Amino acid sequence: MSDGLDYDVVVIGSGIAGSTLALCLAKQGVRTLVVEKGRHPHFVIGESTVPSTSYSFEYLNELTDVPELAAAYSYPGLKKAGCTGWPKQHFWFGWNDPGEPVTPDKELCFYALLPPRGPDFHANRADLDHFFVKLFPKYEVTYHDKTAVTAFESDETSARVTIKPENGDERTVTAAYVVDCTGHASFLAKKFGMRKADPELSTNSRSLFGHFKNVKFLDDILPANDEVGFLRDGGTIHHIFKGGWIWGIRFDSGVMSVGITLDRDVWPLDESITAEEELRTIIDRYPTVKAALGEMVPIRPIIRTGRVHGGTDRIQFSVNAIHGERFILSPHSAGFIDPLFSTGILLTGAFLNRFVPLAAKAAKDGDWGMERFRPLETVFMREIEMVDKVVGGMFRSWRYGHATFTHYWRLWLYVGSAMYLTRVAVPQEDAAGPGVFAANIPSVERLVRRMHEIIFDPAFEAESGTKALKATMDEVWDASHGPGMMDWPLDPDRTLCVKFLATGETRLAQLHMLKWWRSLVASNPTVAAKVQVGRVARWILDNRKRKHTDQREIEESRKGDGVFAKAYTIIENIRLGAIKGPFTDNPALLWNTDADAAAGVEVTAKAYDVHATENDPVARAKQPGKSA
């Protein structure tokens, strides 16, 4: 530990990155202080997980033994933590043309993890972040909210952080290391001029978003789609149109997170209209979107971006470096691309698995030198490049229509599958191993760069360019991927639904997945050298074991608080045909109902307040008349 210093680590910010980092560090014996400018609970987006996110937090639990992290990697775990959420069984995409409803040939779907490994979930972040903060006393994390960081200095021996409580005197604490988890505010990045004036990213978007009630289920508007197999709202909704996309992230409270992200070159900001006027104008252009969102009512003010470096409405930012003497930036403090594909929490989970073991060892060795953390910067820069090329290329594809979008979308399928399946097989703490969006997998990196090069070619033309995208993806999808991966028409005439990761569905799907995984690893020797076959075997066996353990927990739950059983009931109810419509406001899809109360199902977390700092020995020691 760091003798003579107040703390080993000071974490600035207590969102999902700062709170989970603090819990994991403290469990490893690292003396940790968290400083939060605001107060929980508070509104924040970043509400959808993907399979690799769930796996990252599951792995982090195994690495650090913080079992409450289960709230961050499964819908039943989220509900046991008392948080509002929703089971996510798939990613649904619908192509919208002005004045035309979405038709089956304009629908795309990619299954997420299904039970027993899944499902992934949507989380009301105000609930989830607060849940983790409420664990601070249990893990002996010192916490100050409503406290600003006003200054930072460091040298080769320590870091000094000056903090100012809202109703208290300014004081300085010392630590061996500081982690900036302040997100867009990026306190240390701004202080040291690390933020790039030009992000040098191909994605160029802005956004407006909020939480709403009275949002209709798509299956109350469109005919049921057997190919999807679930209610469309049983996953994350992506309405795509030329120049932008609309997300729909449903919660089991009846509220929905809705946001529009726009290509700034196609949809430049018009400051003469309000955020709500712009929102309504876009919604009214597309019949299916209007039918679902036309009567929605905001439950909080709509936010339109314009707060990032210099007040620009562009949401992308990046840095020249993520660490310096005695400090490091968490991913969301170092860079951001776009909400598309939910990469924010994904990058956070990957960072935590790498940083926590390094920090624990640094605390033990008393060595917090920059070289120890340099590999984290190297992999993060590659990850941001990969995310930007996939997301930026997706935005560009929308300019040319549904067919072009479909064949660039196939790149995301490939990258997402490669990312998940290779990361299952290697230690997550290894910064040189497979990363977010398949960074550090050479063959996949080459594919991403090639597809990005095609779509951004100044001479790109819709028909010939789409053929080039299709040919490139056809070359990498081979028969080992299973049926439906190669025979995609140039201009799809049916719903295309990919169930490649749906290992809980059929043994055949799992066999196809493993065959493809072996082919991918064999073509990347640097990845093959890191693979631990035992991890893959444990992952397969664990899938089978979870079926039985989940069933036992369902039965036990029915005898107790009912939470786990209720969560599984909602999971089953979003399967197509499980319940009859209408689905909007259907009690079978809501958590807090009169039936729940009658059955004794817990619907809120048993919370306790952690805003006080009376348990802070450093603060007490520095107050006259008090001792540690």
Whether the per-residue pLDDT at 145 is higher than 50: the answer is yes
* Calpha distance 267→242 (Å, rounded): 10
Whether the per-residue pLDDT at 44 is higher than 80: the answer is yes
pLDDT grade, residue 311 (50/70/90)?
A: low
Q: Work out the average pLDDT over 314-323.
A: 96
* Calpha distance 204→262 (Å, rounded): 8
Q: Name the token pair of 536.
A: 């893959």
* Domain positions in the chain: 1-79+124-201+316-368, 378-531
How big, in percent rounded to 5, are the helix, strand and coil portions of the chain?
45, 20, 40
Q: Name the token pair of 378.
A: 């190297």
* Calpha distance 105→567 (Å, rounded): 32
Q: Work out the average pLDDT over 478-488.
A: 58
CATH number for the domain whose boundaries are 1-79+124-201+316-368: 3.50.50.60
- Check residue 599 and give its pLDDT: 59
Q: Name the token pair of 546.
A: 């979870």
Residue 429, judged by CB atoms within 10 A of its CB (0-12, 13-18, 19+), counts as middle
Closest CA to 76 of 424, 584, 608, 562: 562
Helix axis angle for 533-559 and 563-573, nearest 10°, is 110
- Check residue 510 and give its pLDDT: 65
Contact between residue 146 and residue 133 where contact means Cβ atoms under 8 Å apart? no
- AA identity, residue 460: F
* Calpha distance 348→330 (Å, rounded): 7
159-168, 343-352, 395-404, 483-492: range with lowest mean pLDDT: 483-492
- Check residue 597 and give its pLDDT: 56
Mean residue pLDDT across the chain: 89
- Check residue 500 and give its pLDDT: 64
* Separation in Å, CA 606 to CA 16, 79, 82, 135, 333: 19, 12, 7, 12, 31
Contact between residue 173 and residue 6 where contact means Cβ atoms under 8 Å apart? yes
Eight-class DSSP state of 459: T
- AA identity, residue 144: H
Eight-class DSSP state of 302: P
- Check residue 601 and give its pLDDT: 61
Place of tokens 């949401």: 315
Eight-class DSSP state of 216: P
SS3 at position 421: helix
Place of tokens 């076959």: 533
pLDDT grade, residue 115 (50/70/90)?
A: confident
SS3 at position 523: coil
Measure CA 97 to chain center: 28
pLDDT tens readout for residues 333-345: 999 999 999 999 9
Q: Name the token pair of 256.
A: 């929905």
pLDDT tens readout for residues 183-196: 988 899 999 999 99
Contacts of 326 (CB under 8 A, 6+ apart): 154, 155, 158, 159, 175, 176, 177, 178, 368
* Calpha distance 499→111 (Å, rounded): 5
Q: What is the distance between the terminal CA atoms of the chain, rounded to a whole angstrom?
A: 18
pLDDT tens readout for residues 269-292: 998 999 999 999 999 999 999 999
Whether the per-residue pLDDT at 26 is higher than 60: the answer is yes
Q: Work out the average pLDDT over 297-319.
A: 82
Closest CA to 240 of 126, 401, 363, 379: 401
pLDDT tens readout for residues 567-584: 999 999 999 999 999 999
Whether the per-residue pLDDT at 506 is higher than 70: the answer is no
- AA identity, residue 11: V
pLDDT tens readout for residues 462-474: 999 999 999 999 8
pLDDT grade, residue 478 (50/70/90)?
A: low
Closest CA to 128 of 181, 83, 79: 83
Eight-class DSSP state of 49: -
Q: Work out the average pLDDT over 596-615.
A: 46
- Check residue 113 and give its pLDDT: 83
- Check residue 518 and give its pLDDT: 85
Contacts of 415 (CB under 8 A, 6+ apart): 386, 390, 437, 438, 444, 447, 448
Element (H, E) at 337: none
* Calpha distance 605→128 (Å, rounded): 10
CB-CB neighbours of 113 under 10 Å: 25
Q: Work out the average pLDDT over 82-98.
A: 96
SS3 at position 585: coil
- Check residue 88 and give its pLDDT: 95
Please write down the HEC assignment for all residues of 491-506: CCCCCEEECCCCCCCC
- Check residue 628 and give its pLDDT: 34
Element (H, E) at 279: helix 275-285
- Check residue 618 and give its pLDDT: 42
pLDDT tens readout for residues 407-441: 999 999 999 989 998 988 999 999 999 999 999 99
Whether the per-residue pLDDT at 615 is higher than 70: the answer is no
- The sign one gets for the Cα dihedral 124, 130, 131, 132 is positive
- State pTM to two decimals: 0.93
pLDDT tens readout for residues 523-558: 999 999 999 988 888 888 888 888 889 999 999 999
SS3 at position 490: coil
- The sign one gets for the Cα dihedral 533, 528, 470, 379 is positive
* Calpha distance 256→584 (Å, rounded): 11
Eight-class DSSP state of 55: H
113-117, 183-187, 248-252, 441-445: range with lowest mean pLDDT: 113-117
pLDDT grade, residue 508 (50/70/90)?
A: low
Measure CA 386 to chain center: 16
The neighbouring-strand residues paired with 241 are 244
- Check residue 517 and give its pLDDT: 82
- Stronger pLDDT, 224 or 596, i.e. the higher one: 224
Contact between residue 349 and residue 53 where contact means Cβ atoms under 8 Å apart? yes
Whether the per-residue pLDDT at 153 is higher than 80: the answer is yes
